[in-house]
Amino acid sequence: MTPHAVFLQQLVNGLTIGVVYALIALGYTMVYGIIQLINFAHGEIFMLGAYLGLTVLALGGVAGAGGPAAIGLGVVGGLAAIGGCAVVGWLVERVAYRPLRQSPKLAALITAIGASFVLQNAAMLCYGARDRYVPNPFPVSQWQWGGVAMTGMQVLIAAVALTVMIGLQWFIRATTLGQAMRATAQDPVAARLMGIPVDRVIAWTFMIGSGLAGIGGALFGIYYTTINFHDGYLTGLKAFTAAVLGGIGNVPGAVLGGLLLGLLEGLGAGYLSSQWKNVLAFAVLVLLLLFRPRGLLGERVAERA
Amino acid sequence: MTRPTPRELLGRTHPLQGLLGRSLGIGLLVALPLVDGNAYHIDVLTVAWLYALLALGLNIIVGFAGLLNLGYAAFFAIGAYSYALANLQWGMTFWVGLPFSALVAGCAGVILGLPAIRVRGDYLAIVTLGFGEIVRIVVTNLEPWTGGPNGLLGIAGPVIGGLDFGVTSAPYYWLAFALVVLGVWMSQRLMRSRMGRAWMAIREDELAAQCVGIDTVRVKLIAHGCGAAIGGLAGCLFAAKQGTITPDSFDFILSVMVLAMVVLGGLGNPVGVVVGAVALTVLPELLREFAVYRMLLFGLTLILIMRFRPQGLLGARQIGRELKVRGAPAR
């Protein structure tokens, strides 16, 4: 491979994982934007999405790429991941966050950690502690342009993520619920005075964010072919840094942050070593925060601890 | 012991904080290894004291100064590795290693504190989280010095007058407990000192603190340094006790657990955070009979405790009041 092709290949690989980070980061950023809380259980919801996708594929008896039936089951798996994760997200909000809305913020951080333990161990109990193989129900295809390979899965991930993100942007801008979300994020008290059911809006925010993480998880599982109950933690952490990178609370910022982090990792893995790529991601994050604390697209400086 | 001022007498009603209760509690805990022959109990409690030491250190940063830190395991790691390396390379003894680790970790705390001055709240949490991950990954990858993922082996334990601590747990129990008692005492003294009041002032309102002439940069750096030094101390003790250290002992989960201990026990209350540390160390052990459900139940317990006692088990009275009246008219 020519150096040029190597660079492009790393770019493609990096962007693919970056898109997944962006999907998860959206959930972090939406929740933070609306109640200024770091939802530490979000990474686990992403991991559950991968498992839910796997469950549908396993129940349907999909072992690998097949005909329309397998593709159909793949789509159903994705939808199940969205739905299932939305329900779990709602439940987590209801049990771990809503009762603590008037409490010190650190208390909510601890319940978030508790919820994360619960989800992780529930997944381990249901699916076992070992890596589980996730079959790919979609036809395996690959395109080549001048030495750069792109798999069908990469195209699918990009397409799904793009659709979802555009849909989300439309949803936040154009629908009544989206408007209510923006109002609540701006000023919860005033929003309540205007007759917005703030608690319900917050619940919806959790559900939408969790659904996005769910589809991200389902795609991630198929792309990497295995899933483990530990996977939510590091991926969640990175998606969170992506959200901060873009400016937490800012929806386009989360997408930008995710893509940048993915690119950085892809190029870091290609040119340095894959061992050091995690340091690179965190070092850039720390440096960025020091020189531009509100992130790339962040509008306001959040200081509430 | 200094005489309590009338204000303190009025403000403190907790029986454990009376001198009698204090000496009784300490005496009982010191005598425990002599009475309880079960090595497992002593071992679990030794680990609890180690965590309590970490919680006391983090309490200075988060509880006193209000600087959220999600990478505290880094200082634990720095302390452990500085003693381990100094011991293996230069033959440094444990008793020299203890202050040495505290010094190295304290310096690391100040160095991290310098750039972190500019960020606050959640952003500070992320910077410290990044720092914690960076330290862990660097330690894992610097194989020639740190032994990489395999860690370092054969770290010497403490020796007193020819008596090697060896593998028995009771001497470690007493040593760790002594350090915890010292840590609580120092924390309580610090809390009432000029520096402690300055920390609480920046925690409650940084701008107002600045206006009354508190050098916020200096005060924050000292908080980071003191907290990190205690973490380093704990790291040194951990390395000596285990005899071997690997990078995965210092992961993000540890930082989170120590923070949970501080919040659960009661932010800003030194006795409280020790109780929190003991509770969160002993609880998973008690749940051991539930085998695979252990961590699940542990997570549920965390949620339930916070739900019904968001100020922590022994929340500092003062903090509880401050947090509650925020936004409401002050009495």
* pLDDT at position B323: 46
- The distance of B304 to chain A (nearest Cα, Å) reads 8
Question: How many CB atoms lie under 10 A from the CB of residue B102?
Answer: 26
Evaluate if residue B156 carries a pLDDT over 90: no
Evaluate if residue B6 carries a pLDDT over 60: no
- At A168-183, the pLDDT tens digits run 999 999 999 999 999 9
Say if A116 is an interface residue toward chain B (CB within 8 Å). yes
Say if B111 is an interface residue toward chain A (CB within 8 Å). no
Cα–Cα dist B68/B227, whole Å: 12
* pLDDT at position A122: 92
Evaluate if residue A40 carries a pLDDT over 90: no
Evaluate if residue B1 carries a pLDDT over 70: no
Compute CA B155 distance to the chain's CA centroid, rounded to the nearest angstrom: 23
The position carrying tokens 């542990």 is B298
Mutation target for A interface from B118, B126, B308: give the one with most A CBs within 10 A. Answer: B126
* pLDDT at position B232: 96
* A279, closest residue in chain B (CA to CA): B134
ipTM: 0.80
Instruction: Pick the more confident residue, A205 or B256.
Output: A205
Instruction: Return the percentage of chain B with pLDDT > 70, whole number.
Output: 87
Say if B256 is an interface residue toward chain A (CB within 8 Å). yes
- Characterize the bridge pairing of strands A142-145 and A148-151: antiparallel
Mean pLDDT of chain B: 83
* Residue numbers in B near A304 (CB within 8 A): 121-122
Cα–Cα dist B233/B57, whole Å: 9
Q: Do residue A289 and residue B127 have CB atoms under 8 angstroms apart?
A: yes
Q: Do residue A38 and residue B122 have CB atoms under 8 angstroms apart?
A: yes
* Residue numbers in A near B307 (CB within 8 A): 99-100, 111
Evaluate if residue B203 carries a pLDDT over 70: yes
* Residue numbers in B near A106 (CB within 8 A): 62, 68, 259, 263, 267
The position carrying tokens 């403000």 is B11
Compute CA B20 distance to the chain's CA centroid, rounded to the nearest angstrom: 26
The predicted model gives B70-80 an average pLDDT of 93
The predicted model gives A186-190 an average pLDDT of 89
- At A115-160, the pLDDT tens digits run 998 999 999 999 988 888 888 888 878 888 777 888 888 989 999 9
The predicted model gives B87-98 an average pLDDT of 90
The predicted model gives A253-262 an average pLDDT of 91
Q: Check: CB of residue B273 under 8 Å from CB of residue B119.
A: no
Cα–Cα dist B322/B330, whole Å: 9
* Segment of A79-93, A218-232, A252-266 carrying the highest mean pLDDT: A79-93
* pLDDT at position B330: 33
* pLDDT at position B322: 47
Evaluate if residue A23 carries a pLDDT over 70: yes
B266: left (phi over 0), alpha (psi -120 to 50) or beta: left
| Among the partner residues B62, B267, B300, nearest to A118 by beta-carbon distance | B300
The predicted model gives A42-48 an average pLDDT of 94
Say if A305 is an interface residue toward chain B (CB within 8 Å). yes
- Give chain A's domains with CATH numbers: 3-291 (1.10.3470)
Which of A69-83, A100-114, A119-133, B2-16 is predicted with the least confidence, judged by mean pLDDT?
A: B2-16
Say if B114 is an interface residue toward chain A (CB within 8 Å). no
Q: Check: CB of residue A116 under 8 Å from CB of residue A244.
A: no
Q: Do residue B307 and residue A99 have CB atoms under 8 angstroms apart?
A: yes
- At B311-330, the pLDDT tens digits run 777 765 555 444 443 433 33
* pLDDT at position A304: 35
Q: Do residue B256 and residue A113 have CB atoms under 8 angstroms apart?
A: yes
Say if B133 is an interface residue toward chain A (CB within 8 Å). yes
* Residue numbers in A near B310 (CB within 8 A): 100, 103-104, 107
* pLDDT at position B327: 38
